[in-house]
Every structure is written in C-alpha cells, then in structure tokens.
A and B are shown apart, each in its own frame.
Chain A
C-alpha cells in the first residue's frame, strides 16, 4: 500500500458529530426542547386561570376513572413540571426528534451526494452505519437531556423547587426526585429507541430523509392508536408503544420494575432487529445516489 490509509480511522465519531451538529435541524430540534417548557410556563402564567402562586393542584380530577392526574400537579414545583414536560414531550415531539436524528443519517448524505464519496474514500459500510447511528443516538439523547434540563431550570424559576408530588400520594425530596427523574429520562430514552430503529432502517432503504423520518413517526403513531383500541385486548401488549407510559411506575414509593423491564426489553429487541436488518441491507446495497 502506497499510503497510510487505516479503515478504523475513517469517519471518526468526533468528525461525524461536527458534521451533524452544525446543521440547522439540530439547532431547531434543540430549540424546540427549550421552547416547550417556556410555552407551557407562558400558557400557565398568562392563561385565563392565572393563579400560579397557589399551585392549584385540583386539576382535572376525573372521579371514578382513576385517571393519572399528573398534569394538574404541574405547577406544584419544578420536579412535577419536568414530569409533565416529559409526559407531553414523549408522546409526539421526542418521537419525531428521535426519528429525525436517526432517520436522516444516511438518507441525507445520499440526497447531498456525499454518501458515495464517503464510501469510496473508503469508509467501510458497517463503520459508516455504526458511526452514524452512534451520532444519531447521541444527538437524540442530548435532545431528551436538554428537555429535562430546560424544564428543571425553567420550572424552578417559574414554580419553585417544592418536592416532587406523586399523584399516587407521597412526595420525594430533591435528591430522590432527581434520581426518579433520571430513571424516567433513561426509560423514555430507551423506549424511543424503537422510533430510532424504524427510522434507521428506513434511512438505509430510501434516499429521501423526510420519507424515513415520516415512516418512523407514522408507525409509532399507528401503534399508539392501536394500543388505545380496547377491542384488541391482550394483543396490545405486543405493540411497541404499549409500555411507553410505564415510567409512571417510577412515581410509586417503591418502584415496580416489571412493566419498565418489559418495555425497555421490547424496545431494545426491536431496535436491535431493525438495526441488524439495516446493516445487512446496506452491506449489499448498490449505491446509486
């Protein structure tokens, strides 16, 4: 060999991170993570029932339904506020962000025509996928952490630092609340890997970034809709989003890990299979973009 080419030095993680982090969509996604708590605070403070100091916690208590009265507790203090932000964010926003950061990894390179130059350099195909996936997941998890950090900071300024109040009864002081929020954040990050996995498979299949992201978001939403259909009965426990809300178990005084263990496992299984499928597909793919 005439030159000093080393396959394991191609496309280092740090370089890929620099290539992605300067993109506008990264800034927009992170901006949304900060905007969400700001908007909610503004709505609460400026809204028609502005009564922030009393921390009115009655909420939409639904007599006899046993509904999860997390939202009513949002103004209780920053811990509760952050929980509600996680509840709001994990439904659609974070799903989209996770799908975005994994779904446009390869497809956007294809659409910029840069993919062929990276592969011909050559960056080994599997190395390219793994580095891109690692960076995509890093950016996704960063968005989640930014949401939590921004919510904690904004919530602390807006509503104070009262202990975390569980809708089940009981409360957690700061250190315990921080631990609980950390567990919840970790769990939400894990369950969102399903969206990342779908998006990552699609990004290898298609050359259209939005197609990959949209497909992943659509599959997650269809799964959520099916999960709401009582008629499906126990079949629903096999849906990938079935355990998406299992993190509320963390609000119990003693954490019941059963559902979360199952939800996290399902998500990791789905993620592994989807990524494995993506790798096998990309190994043989003719790069025509």
Chain B
C-alpha cells in the first residue's frame, strides 16, 4: 500500500513537473478562459491538426508578454494552474496547455518530436501572435517565454531551438540527450582497438518502464500494447526492453526529441535547472545543454541551477526555483532592470535535512561562470586499492538497490549494502581540509574479464566515508558502463565519468570509489561472470569549479555572543537589584525585645489600608493576645513580622533586627499563620523532618519527639498528610512552629479545628512554653480565648490599634467586667465579635 501511495505521489510530482505551489491563492478570475487551438499534424499519415486544449490567463494590464507553461509527463494544463495564476498576477499573459496524448488534448504521444509536439508548441506562438492582449515585438512575433519541468522542460528547450520567436526559456529537470539518459554510458574505451561508433549504454529499465506505464492509460475500449504512444515510439521502447539495444532508427528518433540536437540554435535567454536527487535526468544533462548553448552563442544570457530536488525527491526548493523562473521572465520578457544572480548556483543539501521549510539553512556554491560538468581543470586525488575480483551474479540477481522511481533517494541509505563479492572499493587518504566536490569526477579503470563476453556491465559511484563509522552516498547516484565484445584475460582500460554530485568533504573523511556489477534500476546481463578491477594510475580527477560557498544564514557567532551578553546582563542586573543592598537597621536597645512594631502601615493595591499606623511591642516571657474581629489586620501584621509582606511604611523589629524578606532574625520565630501548610504526599513526620532540614538550623536539636508528642497524632504521624483532618493538620502545624523551640512563637487562630479537650491542652502548652522564658503571640478573634490564655493583650480594629496592656491592668478598677465587655466598650457596638 505504501508503495502504491509512493507511486501515486510520483505521478503527481511528474504531472506538475516538480514545479508546484506558488503561495498565491487568488481564485480564478473572469479573465481565465479555456480555449481550443489548432496544433501540428495528428500523425505522419494524417495531416489534420490536433485540437489543443489550452487555458489563457489574462492579467489586469494588457498588452503584456506571454508565458507558455508546459506540464510534466502524465499531467495536463490543470497541473500548472497555480504557477499560471502567480505569473499572471505578476503581469504576464499565461497560456497553459495539455500536450498531445494528455488531458483533453487527444492524439499520440511522440515524446516531444519536432514534427508533432514541437509543431504544436509553435502553433501556440501563432495563436499568441493573434491575441491583442499579448505584446507583439513584430508582426506575427509575440513576446513569449516557455517554462516547464521534466517533459515540459524538454519541449521548452526544443521549441526555443526550432522557433526564433521564443524570447526566454526556463527549463527544469529534463534531458539533454534522451539516449544517454535511458541507455546510460559513462565509459570511454581507451586504446587502439576501440570502436569509436556511438554504442548503446545500459538500459535504465525501471525508469523507462515506469514512464511507459504512465502513457498506457486508455479508455477500456482502446486498450492496446502501445497505450497512447505513437507506433514508432512504442516500437523503440519494446526494442529497448527486449534487447537492451537500440536500432539506428530508434537512436535517430530519440536524438530528434533531444535538446542536444538543436541546442546550438537557441539564442533566447535560457534558465536551466537540474536536480541532484535525480537518477533519471542527472545534473550532467542540464549542464550539457548549458555547455552546448554557451559554446554556440557565448553572448546568450544563461543561468544554471543545480538544486537539491529532482525526480527522486530530495529537498524541496520549489519556492526558490519558481522565484528564479519569475525573475528570469521579469528580466527578459517584462524587460525589468533586475539581477538574475550568479550564472551558476549549486545547493549544498547534504549538510542539512531540516530545510524543508527553511531556506535559511541551505548553503550554496555560486560562480559567475560555469566551468562545465567535468570542470575545465581538475584536482588529482590519489586513490589506492589492490586489484579485486568481483562477480556478476547469474540472472543479474540479487542486485544492489540505489534508487527506486517514485520512492525517493532514501532507499539508497536503507539497502545500498553490497552483496558479497559484487563490489570493488578504492579509497583516498583522509582529507585534511574541508573540500567542496562539485560535478563529475573521472578515473581510469582496468577491467580484465575471466571469460569472453558480448557485453560487460559495471556501475560506478563515488561515496564519502569516515573510516568505518559513516558513509555518504550522494543521492544514491551511480554511473553505469557497458563494454562490448570482451575477450577473456584481455585487460580493457576505460575512462569513467562518475555521477555529478554536490557535496563537501570534511577533514578526516575519505573519498571512496565503488565499482559494482549490479544495480536493480538497470537491465542487467544474465550470464554469470567474473572480472578483475584495478586502477590504472589511481588518479581521480575532480573538477575545479571556482565556486564561492555562501550561506543564507548569518554566522551563529552573533547569537552565541548575544546569549553570553544577555546572561551577563541579567546576572549584573540581579546583582545590582539584590535584596538588602543597605544593611538592615539594628537597634541595640531592642535586642531583648522579641517583637516591636513601629508606625506600621500596610496599604494594598486599591487603597485598602489593612494596617494603619500601629505601634506596640511584646516583652519577653509573656503570652500576648492579638485580639480583633476578622479583618482587623492581625494576620497582615503577623505576615509583615514574618517578612512575607513588605510594609508600606514603618518597621517591625525582631530582637532588634529590622525585618526584611529573609532576615536571619526570622529564624528565631516559629509561626503558624492562616492554617498549616504541608506536602500532602509525605507523612507528618517526614514533613517535620524535611522542614527542619530546610530551616538552616540543622546543627540544633529540633526536639522532634517532644513536639510530635504535643501534636498528639498517635500512629497518624506516619500517614500521609493528605489523609489528615483539619484538627490534625492544625496540631501538626503548631508542632512545626515549635520545632527547635524558637524564642518567639506566633500562633494565628491556633484553636481552629480543635475540640474542647485539645483547646484546653493547647492553652496549658502555650503557658508552659512562655514559662520557660520564651514569648508567645496568639492572635484570635475569640475574646474568651485571649482572656483565658494571655497575660497581655493588643486590641486591633480596622487596622488600627485600639488599646494594649496587661489583661489584668486593663480590667483593673472595673469589677466584674470581663474582657468581652471591655472590648465592646472601646470598639463600639458596630460589629459582632466573639462569634465562634
């Protein structure tokens, strides 16, 4: 199923010639209309013109130059719709059409033959010459560019060769010489007896049959072995598949459909793009077209792009490539004064695979000249390796799998493990510096067959290794060789052109030449045989391309320095704004006073004054009651005394030390404020132990057992706190406050949740605690509580201090007056107090 999907994806990609998706999503406008245009003759026997199904896109402003968009093999005019819309939005008249045999254009596929498909394309120019919306350079000479990929890329080049009216061309991933791409031959035989006649190479069977199958789809009543192909192309294909050879007639047929046949006639500015991930039409194809045009007309503006995509997938650079096409037509059709960039650009994709959506991470090699796929000059790299015997298995199986049409290059990394004795290896010394490797390298091999054979097939590839650890096999590309009529024991020297790649060799890596007998993508000889492979001079010639490496991304050093600077700045800022920059005030006169509050004010956001200018102090060894109704400011005062809240003004002194967040003097206070707080996932005992260990007083004795005894939790002390009742938590909270027997104990509403016997026990405990010379502050809204527990009292109401003093002194001279009555007397009766 996955393979089916992969194949389907392949068809889609071929259909649109790998030139998909401009970001523009403008909906079709009224100025898009379908038209029928009379093309070239239907066939050699039938001169009636085919009716071409086309669609014309008109821009807002006319007249404007025209762009004809040709689709890929298996596609139709619909497949280039998005690109058409984006070109139209840029101000071009766009004519998209379905080639004969595709979409709704009927007729046979003749693989861009001059008599048929090229005649159709020329008829489109005639049509554009008649349209008033198209800029005309002369009578019957519209200003027109052709663009397409794959099948559409070839017709763009061919029509530019056959029709001088074409003003600009953009051609992507297509062939230069169809015979070389389908019957690949990368060996030149050296020596006197060489047969110099052009011999057929190794049949690229998997790709060829795959394409043929795309052209096989017909309505059920028209099923035939040739599908929609013309008879002569069908014959050529069948001949290739059955014999692995091409007749001279078929060779001529293929040559006529090859841009190589007319490249020297092209004078229009031509943008040629070729893909590194393309085992069908490798980099060398587009490069040869460039070289042929440049050789014939050196003044013709040309640009060559070796991008990282192709028929095998690779890295998606479609946005960048469509930008090149757009710029090319703006410059040469709209005649805008813009730069089309360097003449030669190659993407270095092997450094990154995250780059799908991130052009910033790609790196490029650029040059203002293109030195040719093999370079005008070369570096010599010494390869070593002894003579090795390799075998060609009977039936050509099992075969090394490098690429699979439609499945992408990743297959190479998966299964490109050699089968035993099928490959010979030769390696360079480790490189000492980072070295770019661009284009096709050459090497001379000596092949000695052990038996006489009509043909001998080998596959060569260049890989980059890092000792035993890693191996890179750029896009799984191989260069096949076919040597005919070999004689047993007679050595043959061949010069081999290795696959064109774009790579970078890092220090420590080596180049590795691999010579194998099999590759599953090709038609292999079925006779088993054995050859000895050795190097003749061991000199690998790698092209010198004179390129500059550029990266879209600026150096990361700036970011790294920024990071260091930011860390430094933040640390500095934190240091400058560190707490207690000025030493806290120490009042020696208060050294023996557990707690003194002076003019303390706390105003919360919104203006609520929770504590409003209160002053009081607590003598040593007393139990002080902090009395007041809810909202009187008791808890806020205690929180300020604990350094949890910053006073708006005024100060709190603990044994003479002004309280600030984290004041060491706070360590002399044990507190329970607004309920206990424990880690629910730990037991009571664990909570107290960990709290003590976090207190910074670890050298003292926490008197853990004593305080736990007071908490009276029984066995519950070893249960998790989340199982505790409120009373248990409260008792454990009081125990925690008493850990280490602090000099000042502050208990806020300590009787909450306790039952009467426990309340009584707590009162006794508090009084005993004070009897040891320590001080206790108990806050409460219960008058009876304070009266029964405390010797001193502070009465607060609405944030203000109402009165303070000894309980007995306040009540002195008021016989039978209870604190409750006294309280009502001083506070007034505007509130209910003492409600429990």
A: residues with CB less than 8 A from B are 1-12, 15-16, 18-19, 22-24, 49, 57-69, 72-73, 76, 112-127, 165-173, 175-176, 228, 230-231, 234, 237, 245-246, 248-249, 251-254, 256-259, 261-262, 264-266, 268-269, 272-273, 275-276, 279-280, 283-284, 286-288
Contact = CB atoms under 8 A, between A and B. Distances in A.
9 nearest CB pairs, A to B: A113-B677, A5-B667, A10-B696, A261-B556, A64-B13, A276-B570, A124-B662, A254-B506, A265-B563
A266 to B, nearest CB: 7
A71 to B, nearest CB: 11
A122 B584 CA distance: 15
Interface centre among A60, A126, A168, A276 (most CB of B within 10 A): A168
Interface string B783-816: 0000000000000000000000000000000000
A11 B694 contact: yes
Interface in B630-654: 639, 642-646
A149 B574 CA distance: 38
Contacts of A7: 662, 664, 696
Given A65-B356, A115-B677, A252-B351, A9 B10 contact: no
A246 B354 contact: yes
B407 A125 contact: no
A125 B661 contact: yes
Contacts of B3: 58
A3 B740 CA distance: 10
A261 B555 CA distance: 9
A210 B567 CA distance: 28
A7 B566 CA distance: 28
18 contacts: A1-B664, A9-B697, A23-B681, A61-B2, A64-B9, A64-B316, A113-B676, A116-B673, A117-B677, A117-B691, A118-B694, A176-B469, A254-B351, A259-B352, A259-B361, A265-B560, A280-B574, A286-B645
B496 to A, nearest CB: 21
Contacts, number: 313
Contacts of A118: 694
A4 B556 contact: no
Interface in B314-373: 314-316, 350-354, 356-358, 360-361
A259 to B, nearest CB: 5
Nearest to A109: B677
Contact of A114 (B408, B509, B556, B679): B679
Contact of A262 (B556, B674, B700): B556
Contact of A272 (B20, B354, B504, B567): B567
Interface string B663-699: 1111111010111111111100000001101111111
B671 A117 contact: yes
B2 A22 contact: no
A9 B578 CA distance: 19
Contacts of A113: 674-678
B249 interface: no
A60 B3 CA distance: 9
Interface of B: 1-3, 5-6, 9-10, 12-13, 18, 20, 23, 277, 308-309, 313-316, 350-354, 356-358, 360-361, 406-416, 464, 466, 468-476, 504, 506, 509, 551, 553, 555-557, 559-560, 562-563, 566-567, 570, 573-574, 577-579, 639, 642-646, 655, 661-669, 671, 673-682, 690-691, 693-700, 736, 740, 743
A119 B645 contact: no
B414 A123 contact: no
A110 to B, nearest CB: 9
Contacts of A268: 563, 566-567
Contact of B354 (A63, A68, A119): A68
Contact of A176 (B410, B470, B562): B470
Contacts of A170: 413, 470-473
A112 B679 contact: yes
Given A113-B676, A269-B563, A121 B468 contact: no
A112 B678 contact: yes
A68 B353 contact: yes
A262 B643 CA distance: 42
Contacts of B415: 57
A119 B662 contact: yes
B696 A123 contact: yes
Contact of B509 (A119, A175, A253, A261): A253
A169 B23 contact: no
B65 to A, nearest CB: 28
B579 A283 contact: yes
A121 B695 contact: yes
Contact of A116 (B470, B475, B677): B677
